[in-house]
């Protein structure tokens, strides 16, 4: 019963956050209108779907709230690279770099050509003061999209603007799994 109330509360909060754009009706993108934060639109047609709810929460920077919805979505679609990528993103945005790294690596195991996971993994490496690994992800993106793509352009700009934290050694990046 508590879980149901939590989901209902989350849906009510989303309705308040998104205003008229949040509808219970179907549409090719579940009412998600995109935004300037480079997050892809949810692929489901039902805005009550866990994945769609998670994407909406992420758009509103509610990463901790999005995480359980992503886990539920992953339970329905084990090994889905998009869901794993978002799990990595939510963990990165909340500062849990080891879990983030593990989810990005799982996403890339599921789909080695997932451009979003390569971009976000490169950004994580920069946050971990590991520019060399970020540059490897940029090189992979250059191979995946030789004519350019948003993911490649974004990571290249972040690498160019990167300034390491003085006196900080790179964080070890050898994590192998994620929780759940």
Q: Alpha-carbon distance 96 to 63, whole Å?
A: 11
Q: Is pLDDT at 62 greater than 70 in this prediction? A: yes
- Right CATH for 79-166 from 3.40.225.10, 3.40.50.2300, 1.20.210.10, 1.25.40.10: 1.25.40.10
Q: Is the dihedral of CA 139, 140, 144, 149 positive or negative?
A: negative
Residue 151 has pLDDT above 80, yes or no: yes
Q: What's the pLDDT band for 170 if we cut at 50, 70, 90?
A: low
Task: Provide mean pLDDT across the span 52-74.
Answer: 97
Cβ-Cβ contacts under 8 Å for 7 (sequence gap 6 or more): none
- 36 vs 3, more confident: 3
Q: What is the pLDDT of residues 124-133, one digit of tens each?
A: 999 999 999 9
Average pLDDT over residues 132-154: 97
| pTM: predicted TM-score of the whole model, two decimal places | 0.70
> What distance in Å separates the CA atoms of residue 88 and residue 102, rounded to the nearest whole number?
7
Share of the chain above pLDDT 70, in %: 66
CA angle 71–141–80, rounded 5-degree value: 20
Q: Domain segments of the chain: what residues?
A: 1-77, 79-166
pLDDT in tens, 11-57: 444 433 333 333 333 332 222 233 334 555 444 444 349 999 999 99
């Amino acid at each position: 019963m508590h879980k149901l109330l939590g989901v209902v509360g989350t849906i009510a909060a989303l309705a308040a956050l998104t205003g008229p754009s949040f509808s219970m009706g179907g549409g090719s993108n579940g009412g998600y209108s995109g935004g300037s934060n480079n997050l892809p639109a949810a692929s489901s047609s039902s805005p009550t779907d866990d994945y769609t709810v998670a994407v909406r929460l992420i758009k509103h920077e509610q990463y901790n709230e999005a995480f359980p919805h992503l886990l539920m979505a992953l339970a329905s679609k084990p090994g889905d690279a998009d869901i794993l990528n978002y799990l990595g993103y939510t963990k990165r945005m909340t500062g849990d770099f080891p879990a983030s790294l593990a989810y990005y690596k799982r996403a890339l195991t599921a789909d080695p050509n997932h451009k979003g996971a390569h971009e976000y993994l490169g950004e994580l490496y920069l946050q971990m003061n590991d520019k060399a690994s970020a540059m490897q992800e940029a090189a992979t993106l250059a191979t995946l999209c030789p004519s350019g793509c948003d993911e490649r352009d974004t990571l290249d700009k972040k690498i160019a603007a990167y300034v390491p934290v003085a006196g900080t050694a790179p964080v070890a990046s050898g994590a192998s799994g994620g929780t759940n």
